[in-house]
Amino acid sequence: MSAAAIELEGMCKSFGRVEIIRNVSLSITKGERHAIIGPNGAGKSTMFNLITGKYHPTSGTVRLHGEVVDQLKPYEINRRGLSRSFQITNIFAKMTVFENIRCGLLWSMNYKYSFWHLVDRQPGLTARAHEILEQINMADKHATLAGVLTYAEQRALEIGITIAGGADIIMLDEPTAGMSASETEYIVELIRKVTENKTLVVVEHDMGVVFDLADRISVLVYGEIIASDTPQNVRANPAVQEAYLGTVLEGAD
Amino acid sequence: MSLAGETNASAQAGANSVNWLRLLPWGLAVVLLAILPFVFGSGAGLTVLNQMAITIIFALAYNMLLGQGGMLSFGHAVYMGLGGFFCVHLMNRVEFDGLWLPLPLLPLFGGLFGLLFAVIVGSFSTRRAGTVFAMISLGVGELIAACSIIIVAFFGGEEGVSADRTMGPALLGIDFSSQKEVYYLSACWLLISAAAMYLYSRTPVGRMANAVRDNEERAEFLGYSQRKVRFMSFCASGFFAGIAGALFAINFEILTEENLNLATSGSVLLITFLGGVGFFVGPIIGAIVFTLLQTVLSLFTEIWQLYLGILFVMTVMFFPFGLTGLIAIHFRPYQLGKLGTLIIPYALIAGPALGFALGSACVMEILFHARHAALGDETMTLLGVSFNSHSPAPLLLAVAVAGLSVWALRKLLPAFKDAWDEANHAGDAS
């Protein structure tokens, strides 16, 4: 059997004397849609940042397709096929929508640090950027400055930037935070569409989205994973119900 | 779908064919640079033009850092200065050791020397942007400026190093003994450098320089090391600054400590900001205005630097996008076909604005003359009128003109603002 897409083994992270992540072990198989849930301050974002190289674990290992990556920089991890979005919208506000997508494509299309190609004269690059714009339904907005888009459009654009490089592991940090019900529905459909055949890891507060989208759910409480199972089993898990006081999960039916 | 398909096709067509409209500004620049010496053919005119060309290259190089890369440098004169010093020494090797190096190629070597130094300094200074980068640039700037007095063999101590540009092998009978020949050499290098710097901004690494400037975290998660992107911008900037330094060496045939010091680094920052950091042409406009103020205004007044300082502060305060930004904000009224409606409001405030500028300038000039003119020299001439600078009447008159102008401006500005809003309003409300 091939190695798991992401494998965490005994991962711990402390900031000073505060332990944020305590001995987390988790294996996410290829093609799985995995959601991480947990109350505020449980360490979900820290866990994200540990996997994507923004932080390095205090102890334990992070493996990507079997390769140990926990001491690598974010850009090195990205080059190994992992791409992420952020909790707070993180786009290039002063660039057009088209240019945002193009920036997401450059490395994967092997332009790297080239200063001998002109970006406007690369038909392949331009065509690919337009393809992605169509995937995220923003082809008509290609010339708009990203900073003036609506919030939901910016979130959609960020998903576009995140998938542009063709990474096979996509990690989304609260993709529907602050959205209306209809916007949420739209974004979830979009996520489902653009992450087909990819490994998806998503941190999300909206339980409707989580149970709708995920094949497997991990529940993080005070830096520890108390359950990691299918949606049905997680919902039935008494420890999870206790952590969530039952209420939220019942509302997700 | 069909709409998207069209965009796709047109974008691809655009990527394959040359857009002639885009080449128009460059064509105009070539023509303008070619005919300028026939308009300003005097020795003084050519000197100003040469200085402008050099300053434009330097400011454009500086804007690769500040505008494109978001790196605020307080020591960029170092790369121009070092390139220049290296070229002065090369010119001396040509003269005394018979080194075969035609003068037109010298800027290339100045650029390479600037690049070499940018590689060394950039390897540690580009680790972080923001304050850390700014402080390192300041420190390195001071360090090299101090070295210029200590390492006399290379920097020539306080009197600097001089050379003779005419000693190289003459190509096609041109030995660069006349100002005009030097001008055309500078103009050629200006075109080459400006085009290269523009094209650099359209390459993958040039686009990512913008991306890192706007959001370094996002750029890292797209596979790019922010440090390496900054490092490459820094090196490219050092290269073009070195070219400017070489042209300075060719034009003035001397380099001194002044070319490396903090004042020069400060003025390129001022030039770039004045012109507008957000535009490619910003530094060009800034360099032209600055050189004109420096050379022309200084003929009329001793306190030109004061005016320059005031202009700079006012630009930063009221027009943070610089002079280019000031021009650019008229583009929307122009698109709406409402530029004409602004003529009368502009004409109305032009009088008081000019009155305020002249009135306050006269106050400063009179005070400066009264305090600093030679003992017994009490007569000064301002705007064609001679008067005694020690008598209170002219001073009071100037204060009155400035005061009245401010009063009139305050009265007129609300109406101007309304006219401005109206001109920027897409609706047909009249």
**How large is the average pLDDT for residues B335-350?**
88
User: Which of A99-108, B154-163, B200-209 has the least mean pLDDT?
Assistant: B154-163
Residue B205 contacts A where some CB pair is shorter than 8 Å: yes
CA-based nearest distance A131→chain B, Å: 8
The shortest C-alpha distance from B2 to chain A (Å) reads 11
Q: Is the pLDDT of residue B361 over 60?
A: yes
Q: pLDDT below 50 — which residues of chain A?
A: 1, 250-253
- pLDDT in the model for residue B142: 92
Q: Which of B14, B220, B232 is closest, CB to CB, to A113?
A: B232
Answer yes or no: do B223 and A115 touch at CB < 8 A: no
For residue A180, give how far its alpha carbon lies from the nearest alpha carbon of chain B (Å): 25
Tell me what pLDDT residue B85 has: 96
Q: How far is A8 from chain B (nearest CA, A)?
A: 20
Q: What is the pLDDT of residue A247?
A: 53
Whether residue B118 is contained in a domain is answered as: yes
B371–A contact, CB cutoff 8 A: no
Q: Please give, rounded to a whole number of angstroms, the shortest distance from the CA of A101 to a CA of chain B.
A: 10
Please tell me the predicted confidence (pLDDT) of residue B427: 66
Nearest chain A residue (CA) to B200: A115
The pLDDT value recorded for residue B17 is 56
Is residue B321 domain-resident? yes
Indicate whether B296 and B336 sit together in one domain: no
Looking at the complex, does the CB of residue B10 fall below 8 Å from at least one CB of chain A? no
pLDDT given for residue B22 in this prediction: 81
Using the Cβ of A95 and the Cβ atoms of chain B, whether some distance falls under 8 Å is answered with: yes
Out of B325, B347, B376, a domain closes at: B325
In this prediction, what percent of chain B has a pLDDT beyond 90? Answer: 59
How near does any CA of chain B get to the CA of A86, in Å? 9
Residue B6 sits at the chain A interface (C-beta within 8 Å): no
> Which residues in B lie closer than 8 A to residue A124 (C-beta atoms)?
none
Is there a domain that residue B156 lies in?
A: yes
pLDDT tens profile B2-40: 333 334 444 444 444 567 778 888 999 999 998 998 888
The residues facing A217 across adjacent strands are A35, A229
Cβ-nearest to B203 among A73, A86, A116: A116
B205 & B102 share domain: yes
In a shared domain, residues B308 and B371: no
Query: What's the gap in Å between the CA of B198 and the closest CA on chain A?
Result: 11
Residue recorded with tokens 């935070």: A177
Give dist(CA B249, CA B110) in Å, integer: 9
Which of A77, A84, A119, A136 should one mutate to test binding to chain B, selecting the residue with the greatest count of B CBs within 10 A? A119
Of the candidates B11, B208, B223, the beta carbon closest to that of A78 is on: B223
Please list the alpha-helical segments (H only) found in chain A: 44-51, 74-79, 97-106, 123-135, 151-164, 181-194, 207-213, 231-236, 238-244, 247-250
Is B2 part of a structural domain of the chain? no
Q: Are A114 and B204 inside 8 Å of each other by CB?
A: yes
Chain B residue with CA closest to A79: the answer is: B223
Q: Which residues of A touch B232 (CB under 8 A)?
A: 113, 115
Residues B280 and B399 placed together within one structural domain of the fold? no
Q: Assess whether B305 and B336 both reside in one domain.
A: no
pLDDT tier for residue B430 given thresholds of 50, 70 and 90: very low
pLDDT for res B297? 86
Range of the structural domain that residue B178 is part of: 22-325
Whether B277 contacts chain A with CB within 8 A? no
Out of A74, A103, A121, whose CB is closest to B207?
Answer: A103
Would you call A110 an interface residue with chain B, using a CB distance cutoff of 8 Å?
A: no
Residue A155 forms contact with B (CB below 8 Å): no
Q: What is the 3-state secondary structure (H, E, C) of chain B?
A: CHHHHHHHHHHHHHHHCCCHHHHHHHHHHHHHHHHHHHHCCCHHHHHHHHHHHHHHHHHHHHHHHHHHHCCCCCCCHHHHHHHHHHHHHHHHHHHHHCCCCCHHHHHHHHHHHHHHHHHHHHHHHCCCCHHHHHHHHHHHHHHHHHHHHHCHHHHCHHHCEECCHHHCCCECCECCCCHHHHHHHHHHHHHHHHHHHHHHHCCHHHHHHHHHHHCHHHHHCCCCCHHHHHHHHHHHHHHHHHHHHHHHHHHHCEECHHHCCHHHHHHHHHHHHHHCCCCCCHHHHHHHHHHHHHHHHHHHCCCHHHHHHHHHHHHHHHCCCHHHHHHHCCHHHHHCCCHHHHHHHHHHHHHHHHHHHHHHHHHHHHHHHHHHCCCCCCEEEECCEEEECCCHHHHHHHHHHHHHHHHHHHHHHHHHHHHHHHHCCCCCCC
B8 contact A CB<8A = yes
DSSP state of A88: S
Which residues are CB-neighbours of A137 under 8 A, at least 6 positions away?
A: A156, A190
Across the interface, do B232 and A115 touch by the CB < 8 Å criterion?
A: yes
Q: Are residues B68 and B160 in the same domain?
A: yes
Give the model confidence (pLDDT) of B368-423 as tens digits: 988 887 777 778 888 888 888 888 888 999 999 999 999 999 999 998 999 998 88
- Final residue belonging to a domain, choices B325, B348, B364: B325
Q: What are phi and psi of A81, to 5 degrees?
A: 95, 25
Same-domain status, B311 and B415: no
Q: Supply the pLDDT for residue A245.
A: 57
Tokens of B7: 């965009």
As a whole number of angstroms, the distance between CA B247 and CA A32 comes to: 62
pLDDT tens by residue, B288-341: 999 998 888 888 888 888 998 999 999 989 888 999 999 999 988 888 888 888
What pLDDT, on the 0 to 100 scale, is given for residue A246?
A: 53
Same domain, B260 and B348: no
Q: Do B221 and A139 touch (CB under 8 A)?
A: no
Res. B180: pLDDT tops 70: yes
Is there a contact between A115 and B200 if contact means CB atoms under 8 Å apart? Answer: yes
The whole-number pLDDT of residue A152 equals 92
Its CATH class, for the domain covering A6-250, is alpha beta
pLDDT at B73: 95
Q: Which is higher by pLDDT, B341 or B243?
A: B243
- The answer on B363 and B302 residing in a single domain is no
Residue B183 has pLDDT above 50, yes or no: yes
CATH code of the domain containing B184: 1.10.3470
- Per the CB < 8 Å rule, is B223 touching A161? no
- Let me know if residue B11 belongs to a domain: no
Domains of chain B: total: 2
Residue B307 lies in a domain: yes
Q: CB of A192 within 8 Å of any CB in chain B?
A: no
- pLDDT at residue B401 in the model: 93
Please tell me the predicted confidence (pLDDT) of residue B2.
Answer: 36
CB of A52 within 8 Å of a chain B CB? The answer is yes
Of B325, B355, B388, the last residue of a domain is B325
Interface pTM, i.e. ipTM: 0.89
pLDDT of B1? 33
pLDDT at B301: 86
Partner A contacted by B428 (CB < 8 A): no
Q: What is the pLDDT of residue B74?
A: 95
Q: Are residues B73 and B129 in the same domain?
A: yes
Residues in contact with B263: Cβ distance below 8 Å, sequence separation at least 6, in sequence order: none
Judge: B15–A126 Cβ closer than 8 Å, yes or no: yes
For A183, what's the count of Cα atoms within 13 Å in the CB-facing half-sphere?
Answer: 14
Q: Are the Cβ atoms of A90 and B229 closer than 8 angstroms?
A: no
The answer to whether residue B8 is domain-embedded is: no
Tell which of B220, B221, B226, B235 to mutate to test the A interface (max A CBs under 10 Å).
Answer: B221
Q: Are residues B11 and A116, on separate chains, in Cβ contact within 8 Å? A: no
Residue (of A209, A176, A196) closest to A85 by Cα position: A176
Regarding whether B343 and B252 lie in a shared domain, the answer is: no
In terms of domains, do B52 and B85 share one? yes
pLDDT tens per residue across span B50-107: 999 999 999 999 999 999 999 999 999 999 999 999 999 999 999 999 888 889 999 9
In a domain, B16, yes or no: no
Q: Do A75 and B11 touch (CB under 8 A)?
A: no
- B218, B225, B227: which to substitute to probe chain A, counting the most A Cβ within 10 Å? B218
